[in-house]
Amino acid sequence: MDNTLLLGFTQDAARKAREAYRTALGVVLILEAAAGLSLLLWPASLNRILGDGAASTPWLRLCGVLLLIVAALSLSGRGEPSRSKILNLLGPPARLGLGALLIFAGGGLIFAGLAEIAAALALAQLYFKYFEAEVTTRP
Query: What ranges do the domains of the chain cover?
Result: 10-136
Three-state secondary-structure class, residue 84: coil
In this predicted structure, the answer to whether residue 40 has a pLDDT above a threshold of 90 is no
Give residue 55's pLDDT. Answer: 58
Neighbour count for residue 82 (Cβ, 10 Å) = 13
DSSP string, 94-131: HHHHHHHHHHHH-TTHHHHHHHHHHHHHHHHHHHHHHH
In this predicted structure, the answer to whether residue 122 has a pLDDT above a threshold of 90 is yes
Per-residue pLDDT band for 5 (boundaries 50, 70, 90) equals low
Helix (H) or strand (E) holding 17: helix 3-41
Tell me the pLDDT tens digit for each residue of 43-68.
Answer: 777 777 766 655 567 777 887 888 88
Of the spans 31-45, 51-65, 102-116, which averages the highest pLDDT? 31-45
Helix (H) or strand (E) holding 50: helix 43-50
Of the spans 22-36, 78-92, 103-117, which averages the highest pLDDT? 22-36
Average pLDDT for 4-16: 79
The CA distances from residue 25 to 58, 64, 81, 103, 108, in Å, are 29, 19, 10, 22, 24
Chain centroid, CA 94 distance in Å: 9
What's this model's pTM, rounded to 2 decimal places?
0.82
